[in-house]
Amino acid sequence: MAHDKGGARPYPRSARVNQILREVISDTVVRLSDIDDQLTLLTVTGVETSPDLRQATVFFDSLTPEVKEALEARRTQIQAMVNAQTDLKRTPKLTFRVDPAVSSGEAVEEIIRRLRDEHDA
């Protein structure tokens, strides 16, 4: 009978890396918001790395063109913090996108609001 370690199910490396990156990038964006007002009130909703860990897409709750431009301008600072705070062999190149789940959720909420308004009218 094989023994597993502590009864815990295996947690894929990519999921662990995504979680660590999400935490580091989120903390970094909060710090940078002190010097760049464009980055205030941003929430990192997730990170998805490529299988070779060379690329990582960072998802945010919202992303106006101005905020995306501010993030792009600070990409090297964010990647430097990822490098300093992780034990990854190489720091993935970051891309920034709005979380499609958040957009979908907002669309569903709008439909529900319209239906409720039509029902109440």
Q: Where are the domains of the chain?
A: 13-120
- Cα(first)–Cα(last) distance of the chain, in Å? 66
For residue 46, what is the enclosing H or E element?
strand 44-49
pTM tops 0.95, yes or no: no
Query: Which pLDDT tens digits describe the chain residue by residue (121 residues)?
Result: 444 444 455 557 788 999 999 999 999 999 999 998 889 889 999 999 998 889 999 999 888 899 999 999 999 999 999 999 998 888 999 999 988 876 656 666 677 777 777 777 7
Cβ-based neighbour number of residue 56 at 10 Å: 22
Structure tokens at 44: 């990192």
CATH number, domain 13-120: 3.30.300.20
